[in-house]
Amino acid sequence: MSLDRLIAYSLRGYFVLALIFIFVPIGISFVFSFSPHRFPTLPLGDVSTIWYEAILNEAPVSRAFGHSVTAGVIVALVSTFIGFAAAYTDYRYRFFGKSFYLALALLPPTIPVLILGLTMLMYLSRVSLVGELYSVIFAHVVFCIPFAMALIRLRLAQMDPDLESAAWNLGANSWRAMRGVILPFTLPSIVAALFLTMAVSFDEFMIAFFVGGVTETLPVRVLMLMQGQVSPRINAIGSVVFTISMTLVILTQILLLTRRPGARRIAAEGA
Amino acid sequence: MAGVAASQPAHAGAKRSAWKVDSYALFWGLPLALWQAMFFVAPLVFLIVMTFWSVKDFRLEPAFDTGNWVGMFSKGYVIDTYFRTLGYGALAAAVCSILAFPASFALAFKASPAVQRIGLFLLITPFFTSYLVRVYSWQTVLSDNGLLNAAFGYVGLGPFDMLNTLFGTLVGYLTLTLPLVVLLQFFSMSNVDRNLIEAAHNLDCGRIRTVFQVIIPSAKIGLILAATFAFILCFGDLVSPSSLGGSKPPTLSILIVDTVKQGNHWPRAAVVAVVMVLTLIVIAFTALYFAYSTKSTKKVRA
């Protein structure tokens, strides 16, 4: 019996160790973003916000931040719409070439981002669509669709297939049934997909680096800073982005939790 | 997209004329097909075409030149780099799977539902932090006068070479893959039938034997998929081998970047890219074959 407890405790301890490995780089970046020294030293010493002031006053950083936000919002909207449409098509229809269709929907993230970036740069530069923010958006949508599609498809899989047909039998046409049954039921996954695709786009630097050219997004700016000498501004940028992302994640969680009764009511009405 | 137009409802409740052009079906079916055809399939096709183009005076010229393929495959260091990258990917997948296993096991079997929820939230958090920033952090931890060597110095050890070594690359690979692999392993193990474990216990099957003969075979699909994801991510990663591994010796990703930078040789870079994609396809399908083959589950039942 005590051996069982010993094993349980050591396994839990191991899990905490794994978490420490995962959070050490995040924590260090956060802590040293407040250190005035260029090279991280222990003990920490003074607290300072000079690196935050540095990034605030640096035009390339704020411009890159603006590009990332714009691209992130547009990519989230477009890829979530296409992902929803593809998930619904997979859910409702059978057709010739469906496995090829699904491969198109799900394959992009299995190809290394370096190769996707290189490939898209070669192609987009042939048709003169390279070096602009829309180039980044085109490419990021390709990369983000699978995440949106997977989330929404999982939600559709939980839906009773008779719900939609029940709506048809009650006289609703396809569009009406979509608005009255499918959309409300999948809403939580749509919100989650919007957020996830925005986060993926916001964080992606390799494709953006290749196709964006001089139109830098924030992670591309970080990549450029990393090529130079040690710069704690990277820590400051990372901490700001982390705080924004986590605030959005938590807000989404709260939003989804408070919305749940409505979703349940629809499920109950259907049952 | 005649395929979508000729769509048939998938479930029984929907009885509609299947072969007329259905604008509703097209509205939902076409966006993906169009977008991915334009911005995913066309670039990939063009990548293959590009491998046959030639470069004259740093300028690309359309041609049908198999010289790029022959040239890349006849260079000893390219072949070496190929197998090195395969080895790195396999090593990362193995190390990550082994290191992740006790953690996901603990979360699946030794944690209350409340702790599980917190654990999952913490494991998802890294996906919302920048991989680049985390790698930069590791640079400051692992460098010769970095935090870890400073800590070793306090107790009179070191300094150790950690940055620009295979160890550094592996730390980067684990940063990239560990949270995902723990999550995937956890989901596959939390689906293992508890009755099986109970039965093994009642039949006096030892703890270790239960893990290897009951839990691992039952969770096989998820475990193999997790390792495959780790392989895919590390095989194509550029940041860890260059920023933490010091680019020496190079991986295929570093080779691609160097080929483009030195001499602007896009077609040769395209050759490497095509070979990488083909390799990943072969690996992914092999892994799927092993994941879904039923041999070992039969052995458990017997």
Structure tokens at B34: 């169009």
Q: With left for phi above 0 and alpha for psi between -120 and 50, is residue B62 left, alpha or beta?
A: beta
Q: What are phi and psi of B61, to 5 degrees?
A: -130, 130
B134 touches chain A (CB under 8 A): yes
User: Using a CB-CB distance cutoff of 8 angstroms, which residues of chain A are in contact with residue B37?
Assistant: 104
- Report the distance separating Cα B253 and Cα B235, nearest Å: 8
Q: Residue A104 is nearest to which of B36, B99, B270, comparing CB atoms? A: B36
Average pLDDT along chain B: 86
Q: For residue B302, what pLDDT is reported?
A: 42
- Min Cα–Cα distance to chain A from B140, Å: 7
Listed residue (A121, A122, A139) closest to B62, CA to CA = A122
Under 8 Å between Cβ of B34 and A78:
no
B4 touches chain A (CB under 8 A): yes
The string of pLDDT tens digits covering residues A169-203 is 888 888 989 998 999 999 988 998 998 899 889 88
User: Using a CB-CB distance cutoff of 8 angstroms, which residues of chain A are in contact with residue B12?
Assistant: 165
- B84 half-sphere exposure, CB direction, 13 A CA radius: 18
- HEC string for B240-265: HHHHHCCCCCCCHHHHHHHHHHCCCC
On whether residue A179 sits in a domain, the answer given is yes
Partner-chain contact B273 A26, CB within 8 Å? no
- Band of residue A26 on the pLDDT scale cut at 50, 70, 90: very high
On whether residue A250 sits in a domain, the answer given is yes
- Min Cα–Cα distance to chain B from A175, Å: 8
Q: For residue B135, what pLDDT is reported?
A: 93
- B65 half-sphere exposure, CB direction, 13 A CA radius: 17
Q: For residue B7, what pLDDT is reported?
A: 45
Partner-chain contact A29 B136, CB within 8 Å? yes
Q: Residue B6 is nearest to which of A14, A95, A174, comparing CB atoms? A: A95
Q: Return the percentage of chain B with pLDDT > 90, whole number.
A: 53
| Angstrom distances, CA of residue B139 to CA of A232, A265, B119 | 12, 51, 27
- Report the distance separating Cα B245 and Cα B51, nearest Å: 29
The string of pLDDT tens digits covering residues B159-215 is 888 889 999 999 999 999 999 999 999 999 988 888 888 888 888 888 888 888 888
On whether residue A83 sits in a domain, the answer given is yes
Please give the tally of structural domains in chain A.
1
To test the contact with chain B by mutation, choose from A77, A111, A170 the residue with the greatest count of B C-beta atoms within 10 A, namely: A111
Q: For residue A270, what pLDDT is reported?
A: 44
Partner-chain contact B150 A41, CB within 8 Å? yes
- Band of residue A44 on the pLDDT scale cut at 50, 70, 90: low
Residues B22, B25, B28, B29, CA torsion sign: negative
Q: For residue A37, what pLDDT is reported?
A: 77
Q: At residue A12, does pLDDT exceed 70?
A: yes
Q: At residue B8, does pLDDT exceed 70?
A: no
Exposure string over A170-188, b if 16+ CB within 10 A, otherwise e? eebebeebbebbbeebbbb
To test the contact with chain B by mutation, choose from A15, A125, A235 the residue with the greatest count of B C-beta atoms within 10 A, namely: A15
Average pLDDT over residues A152-166: 88
Q: At residue A39, does pLDDT exceed 80?
A: no
Q: Is the ipTM of this complex over 0.95?
A: no
Q: A42 versus A160: which is more confidently predicted?
A: A160
Q: What are phi and psi of A109, to 5 degrees?
A: -70, -10
Q: For residue B19, what pLDDT is reported?
A: 52
- Report the distance separating Cα B250 and Cα B277, nearest Å: 18
Q: State which residue of chain B sits closest to A210, comparing Cα positions.
A: B257
Q: For residue A1, what pLDDT is reported?
A: 59
- HEC string for chain A: CHHHHHHHHHHHHHHHHHHHHHHHHHHHHHHHCCCCCCCCCCCCCCCCCHHHHHHHCCHHHHHHHHHHHHHHHHHHHHHHHHHHHHHHHHHHEECCCHHHHHHHHHCHHHCCHHHHHHHHHHHHHHCCCCCCHHHHHHHHHHHHHHHHHHHHHHHHHCCCCHHHHHHHHCCCCHHHHHHHHHHHHHHHHHHHHHHHHHHHHHHCCHHHHHHHCCCCCHHHHHHHHHHCCCCCHHHHHHHHHHHHHHHHHHHHHHHHHHHHHHHHHHHHHHC
Average pLDDT over residues A41-51: 75
User: Using a CB-CB distance cutoff of 8 angstroms, which residues of chain B are in contact with residue A41?
Assistant: 150
User: Using a CB-CB distance cutoff of 8 angstroms, which residues of chain B are in contact with residue A164?
Assistant: 13-14
- Band of residue B20 on the pLDDT scale cut at 50, 70, 90: low
The string of pLDDT tens digits covering residues B87-139 is 999 999 999 999 999 999 999 999 999 999 999 989 988 888 889 999 999 99
Average pLDDT along chain A: 87
CA torsion, ordered B240, B242, B248, B253, to nearest 10 deg: 90
Q: For residue B250, what pLDDT is reported?
A: 93
- Min Cα–Cα distance to chain B from A85, Å: 5
Q: Residue A162 is nearest to which of B8, B13, B100, comparing CB atoms? A: B13
Partner-chain contact B136 A238, CB within 8 Å? yes
- Min Cα–Cα distance to chain A from B74, Å: 22
- Band of residue A271 on the pLDDT scale cut at 50, 70, 90: very low
Taking only residues 58 to 97 of chain B, the set having a beta carbon closer than 8 angstroms to any beta carbon of chain A reads: none
Partner-chain contact B141 A25, CB within 8 Å? yes
B288 touches chain A (CB under 8 A): no
Q: Residue A165 is nearest to which of B14, B28, B111, comparing CB atoms? A: B14
- Report the distance separating Cα A2 and Cα A256, nearest Å: 42
B211 touches chain A (CB under 8 A): no
Q: State which residue of chain B sits closest to A108, comparing Cα positions.
A: B40
- Band of residue A47 on the pLDDT scale cut at 50, 70, 90: confident
- Band of residue A162 on the pLDDT scale cut at 50, 70, 90: confident
- HEC string for chain B: CHHHHCCEECCCCCCCCCCCCCHHHHHHHHHHHHHHHHHHHHHHHHHHHHCCCEEECCEEECCCCCHHHHHHHCCHHHHHHHHHHHHHHHHHHHHHHHHHHHHHHHHHHCCCHHHHHHHHHHHHHHHHCCHHHHHHHHHHHHCCCCHHHHHHHHCCCCCCCCCCCHHHHHHHHHHHHHHHHHHHHHHHHHCCCHHHHHHHHHCCCCHHHHHHHHHHHHCHHHHHHHHHHHHHHHHCCCHHHHHHCCCCCCCHHHHHHHHHHCCCCHHHHHHHHHHHHHHHHHHHHHHHHHHHCCHHHHHHHC
- Min Cα–Cα distance to chain A from B55, Å: 14
Q: At residue B267, does pLDDT exceed 50?
A: yes
User: Using a CB-CB distance cutoff of 8 angstroms, which residues of chain A are in contact with residue B179?
Assistant: 22
On whether residue A19 sits in a domain, the answer given is no
| Angstrom distances, CA of residue B108 to CA of A15, A256, B284 | 11, 25, 26
Exposure string over B116-145, b if 16+ CB within 10 A, otherwise e? eeebeeebebbbbbbbbbbbbbbbbbbbee
B145 touches chain A (CB under 8 A): yes
- What is the distance, to the nearest Å, from the Cα of residue A248 to the centroid of all Cα atoms in its chain? 11
Partner-chain contact A28 B141, CB within 8 Å? yes
Average pLDDT over residues B263-283: 92
CATH label of the domain that carries residue A86: 1.10.3720.10
Taking only residues 229 to 258 of chain B, the set having a beta carbon closer than 8 angstroms to any beta carbon of chain A reads: 232, 235-238, 243, 253, 256-257
Average pLDDT over residues B223-241: 95
Partner-chain contact B133 A238, CB within 8 Å? yes
User: Using a CB-CB distance cutoff of 8 angstroms, which residues of chain A are in contact with residue B145?
Assistant: 39
How many Cβ atoms are within 10 Å of B194's Cβ, its own excluded?
Answer: 9
Under 8 Å between Cβ of A234 and B133:
yes
Least confident of A16-30, A103-117, B11-25, B237-251: B11-25
- Band of residue A57 on the pLDDT scale cut at 50, 70, 90: confident
Set out the domains of chain B in order of their start, with CATH numbers.
67-301 (1.10.3720.10)
CA torsion, ordered B27, B31, B37, B39, to nearest 10 deg: 160
Q: State which residue of chain A sits closest to B110, comparing Cα positions.
A: A8
Spell out the residues 6+ positions from residue A209 whose beta carbon is closer than 8 angstroms to its own.
Answer: A117, A220, A223
- Report the distance separating Cα A234 and Cα A226, nearest Å: 8
Q: For residue A11, what pLDDT is reported?
A: 93
The string of pLDDT tens digits covering residues B44-72 is 999 999 999 988 877 788 888 888 899 88
B277: which strand partners? none
Listed residue (B143, B134, B166) closest to B247, CA to CA = B166
User: Using a CB-CB distance cutoff of 8 angstroms, which residues of chain B are in contact with residue A31?
Assistant: none
B148 touches chain A (CB under 8 A): no
Which domain does A205 fall in, by range?
A: 61-270
The full length of chain A comes to 271
User: Using a CB-CB distance cutoff of 8 angstroms, which residues of chain B are in contact with residue A126?
Assistant: 46
Average pLDDT over residues A94-100: 91
Partner-chain contact A249 B50, CB within 8 Å? no
Q: For residue A41, what pLDDT is reported?
A: 67
B60: which strand partners? B55
